[in-house]
Amino acid sequence: MRRSYRTSTPRAAVESDLFGSSAATRAVAPVTPGSTPETAIPVASITETARAVIEGSFSPLWVRGEVSDFKRHRNGHWYFCLRDASAQVRCVVWSRSQRGIPTSPDEGMEVTAYGQLTVYAARGEMHLNVTAMDAVGDGLWRKAMEETRLRLDRDGLLAAARKRALPYAPTRVGMVTSPDGAALRDVISVIRRRAPHVSIVVSAATVQGVNAPAEIVAAIQRICRFGEIDVLIVGRGGGGREDLWAFNDEAVARAIAGATVPVISGVGHEIDITIADLVADHRAATPSAAAEAAVPLRSDLLAGLRGLGDELSSSLNELAMRARARLENGAASLKRAAEIDAERRRAAIGATAGQLNALSPLATLARGYAVARAVDDRRTLSSIRDFNAGALFTLTVRDGEILARATESA
C-alpha cells in the first residue's frame, strides 16, 4: 500500500489542480493555495483533491476485517465498517454491486471485501466502495445457501413427502443444460449405453454467470410446457463454487419444484451439494449418475418383458386346466346326481307299489272274494237289483274272469 501511496504520478496531477491549470501561472505567482486565510480553498476542492489522490494511489484491492455497524439502507445500499483491533474503514456496497455477492454479511463476521478506496465528498469521509466480498471459510456463500434453504423449507419445498418417484422406464428424457457442455455429452453417452431406445430432448440454458439462473428457470419452464418427456435432468459439469452458483439460486429451486415431471439434479462432482439437489426429486452426484438414475438398462427391461410373457402363457394354461377340471367335476357330480335321483325314484315307486297293493281289490280277491260286473259296461254289480234273471255277467276271481248267468232273482 505504502508503495503505491507514494507513486508520483497522482501527486503531479493533484498539484496541477491545486496550483492552477497552467505551469506558466505557477512560475509567475508561486503562491500556495490554502497557505494563508486569503488563499483559503473551498471544501469541495479539498475533498475532490483527496478523492483524486486516494483513487490514484490505490488500485482496487482486497481488505480483511470484521464487519460492524452493518446497515441496509432503504435505497438498497449497504453500509458498514470494516475494523480490526486498532483501525476501521467505512464501506459501502451499492445495490447494483450486490449481484456478485451471495448475501449480506453478519455483524462481527470476518470478511474480505474487494473495492476501490475513495472519498465521499458529501460526508468528507474515506470509504471503500465494495464490489465483491466473502467471509472466511466461504461463510457468505454458506450463509446465502442457508437463507435460501430456510425460505424453501418454510414453503415445504424440501419435504421428503414432495419427492416424486422416478418413472422406471422413460422413453424420453428431458435435459436442462448447456448444449455445448460436458454434462450433456456425459448424459448422452450413458443413455446410449444403457438404453439406446431412449430419446433426449435438450432445453438449452447458460449454466454459469449472471444470466444463468434466469435462463435455467426459463429452460425448465419451456420443457415442461413442451410436455413430451417422462423425466427431467437439470445439471452441469464440474466447476468452481461460483460456476455452480446458479444451482443455488432460489428461483431455479422453485422452478425445479414446480416442474411437471420428476426432476433429477446432477450438478458438478460428488462433493458439490446445491440447493437444486435439495429440491429435486432425486439427487445424483454427477450428470452421468443422473443419466444412470433416469434410465434402466435395456437388458433389464427386456428380461422383465420376457417374464411377463411367461406369466401370460402360464396364466392361460392354468386357466384352461382349471376350466377342464371344473368340467370334469361337473360331469361327475351330474352323474352322481342322476344316480341319486334314479335311486330315489326307484324307492318311491316301490313304496307306491306297496300302497297300491294294499288298496288293490286283487288282494281281496286273493282272499276268496269275487266281483260281479256287467258284460257291456263293466260296471260293478253289487246289489240284487243289478241282476236280471237269465242275464249274463262276468265274475272276476283271484286268477281270472268267468262268464256267469243269473238264474233267478233272489
Partner 1 sequence: MSYEKRVARLQEIVANLEGDGVPLDDALKLFEEGIEILRLASDELTTAEGRVQLLIERVEGVFETRPIDD
Q: Which residues of the chain form contacts with partner 1 (CB under 8 A)? A: 167-169, 171, 174, 179, 185, 188, 191-192, 195-204, 222-223, 225-226, 230, 298, 301-302, 304-305, 308-309, 311-312, 315-316, 318-320, 322-323
Our CB check for partner 1 shows the closer of 56 and 167 to be 167
Our CB check for partner 1 shows the closer of 171 and 382 to be 171
d(CA 160, CA 163): 6
Of 144, 146, 47, 133, the closest CA to residue 82 belongs to 133
In which element (H, E) is residue 54 found? helix 43-57
The owner of cell 450433456 is: 184
Shortest distance (Å) from residue 358 CB to partner 1: 54
Shortest distance (Å) from residue 168 CB to partner 1: 7
Our CB check for partner 1 shows the closer of 63 and 198 to be 198
Shortest distance (Å) from residue 209 CB to partner 1: 20
Of 140, 68, 139, the closest CA to residue 100 belongs to 140
Query: Beta-carbon neighbour count of residue 358 at 10 Å?
Result: 8
Question: Residue 83: helix, strand or coil by DSSP?
Answer: strand
DSSP 32: P
Shortest distance (Å) from residue 218 CB to partner 1: 9
Shortest distance (Å) from residue 170 CB to partner 1: 8
Our CB check for partner 1 shows the closer of 61 and 312 to be 312
Our CB check for partner 1 shows the closer of 135 and 219 to be 219
Taking a C-beta distance cutoff of 8 angstroms, is the pair 189, 292 a contact?
A: no
Shortest distance (Å) from residue 194 CB to partner 1: 10
CA 163 to chain centre: 5
Shortest distance (Å) from residue 217 CB to partner 1: 14
Our CB check for partner 1 shows the closer of 142 and 197 to be 197
Mind giving me the DSSP string for 218-268?
Answer: HHHHHHHHH---SEEEEEE----TTTTGGGG-HHHHHHHHT-SS-EEEEES
CA 280 to chain centre: 7
Our CB check for partner 1 shows the closer of 91 and 175 to be 175
Shortest distance (Å) from residue 268 CB to partner 1: 22
Our CB check for partner 1 shows the closer of 65 and 237 to be 237
- The angle that helices 212-226 and 250-257 make with each other, rounded to 10 degrees, is 10
d(CA 207, CA 236): 7
Mode of pairing for the β-strands spanning 110-120 and 88-93: unpaired
